Amino acid sequence: MSRSPERILAGALALALSGGAALAEPLGLGRAALPEEIAAWDVAVLPDGTGLRPGSGDVATGEEVFAEQCAACHGEFAEGIDSWPALAGGIDSLTDPRPVKTVGSYWPHLSTVWDYVHRSMPFGGAQTLSVDITYAITAYILYSNGLVEDDFVLSHENFTEIVLPNHAGFIVDDRETTEYPLFRAEPCMSDCRGPATVTRRAVDLSVTPEDPDGRPAGTIPALTLAAAGDAAPAEAAAAPAAPAGPDPALVAAGETVFRKCAACHKVGEGAKNGTGPALNAMVGAPAGAVEGFRYSKPLLEAAGAGLVWDEASLDAFLENPKGFMKGTKMAFAGLKKPEDRAAVIAYLQSLGP
């Protein structure tokens, strides 16, 4: 004899209630976590330094480890490779249409850097870096952003003294009180706006272009064509030929190679100093002359001795920056191919002030 749906439902309910009562009893499995076990998992570091482990690391050690563990994704001087993020550069770029968000330009707290490196890096080998190595890598990232000198040592003692440039660029999220109420009100569904009226003409608002010379809009002036045999003005014929610039093909190649430099050095109209100085009109200019940039002591000494960035000195510097100038802040290893150096120099020559 078949059971009614009501009896089946009643039986299922009784079974569920009995099972729930059984599960309410302690199962006698597991134990409370020990304090040292909780501490091992609690690796978070807060902006005020809470959670930092005692230790220290210097820029030089960080550079070595970064080259071995991090450069494959983030570049030799933290400029980023392909889709991997840049960690240096982008200073004053947050108002640009395509801002470069790095530790130096965007991140508000150094604790985020230390915590993320120690917790999640390197890719595929998370939590394999020691505390001291984490300090060293963080110090090198600071150096790559021009925030510390090359002899800097970061430790748990001076950690909170480091203030990142964009620390004041974040605000407390107040949308719950300022914005959410605007979207929780009853929406208007009919007669929400009054009748449309024309208040001003487009030409009064200067959004409609006018023809030059005061002609009424829409009229076409008479065209005057020079006769085929007319001679060109004398001053045009006598104009001197423009001086030959760098080879356009070499300039184009240099623009491509310069992408390795763009994370730190800006060029073009409105270029500003970043991790490195802006490089407009630098070929033939004296060293250390870019206004507003904080140069290293060795470069300022070389500038005082009369160093000029001509083609020869640029070629030597780009080949091996640290070999050319011991103590330079430039972390880039150099361009080893002569054709790459020649192309970059040609590209820099093509840039105006």
Encode 25-74 in three state secondary structure.
Answer: CCCCCCCCCCHHHHHHHCCCCCCCCCCCCCCEEEHHHHHHHHHHHCHHHH
Q: Does residue 12 or residue 107 have the better pLDDT?
A: 107
Fold of 248-349: Cytochrome Bc1 Complex; Chain D, domain 2 (1.10.760)
The residue whose two tokens read 């809009």 is 217
Lowest mean pLDDT among 48-57, 119-128, 238-247: 238-247
Q: Inform me whether the pLDDT recorded for 267 exceeds 70.
A: yes
The residue type found at 256 is T
Taking only the tens place, the pLDDT of each residue in 195-254 is 888 887 776 666 666 655 555 555 455 444 444 444 444 444 455 555 567 888 988 998
Q: What is the pLDDT of residue 327?
A: 80
Q: What is the distance between the alpha carbons of residues 7 and 218, in angstroms, rounded to a whole number?
A: 88
Q: How far is CA 150 from CA 143, 278, 324, in A?
A: 7, 21, 16
> Which range, of 178-182, 212-216, 293-297, averages the lowest pLDDT?
212-216
**Which DSSP category does 241 fall into?**
P
Domain with CATH 1.10.760.10 in the chain: 43-161, 248-349
Q: Which CATH superfamily is domain 43-161 in?
A: Cytochrome c-like domain (1.10.760.10)
Cα–Cα distances in angstroms (integers) from residue 133 to residues 10, 114, 227, 283, in the given order: 64, 10, 79, 39
Q: Which of 77-86, 165-174, 328-337 has the lowest mean pLDDT?
A: 328-337
- Collapsed DSSP state (helix, strand, coil) of residue 7: helix
Query: Given this model, what pLDDT does residue 225 score?
Result: 43
The predicted model gives 64-78 an average pLDDT of 93
- Tell me how far CA of residue 170 lies from CA of 46, 55, 104, 107, 136, in angstroms: 16, 29, 14, 9, 27
Q: Which residue has the tokens 């960690």?
A: 87
Please give the pLDDT value at position 226.
Answer: 45
Site of tokens 């070929």: 283
Give yes or no for a contact between 353 and 281, defined as CB atoms under 8 angstroms apart: yes
Given this model, what pLDDT does residue 227 score? 44
State percent of the chain over pLDDT 70.
80
Asked if 162 and 154 touch (Cβ cutoff 8 Å), the reply is yes
Spatial CB neighbours of 326, under 8 Å, sequence gap ≥ 6? 298
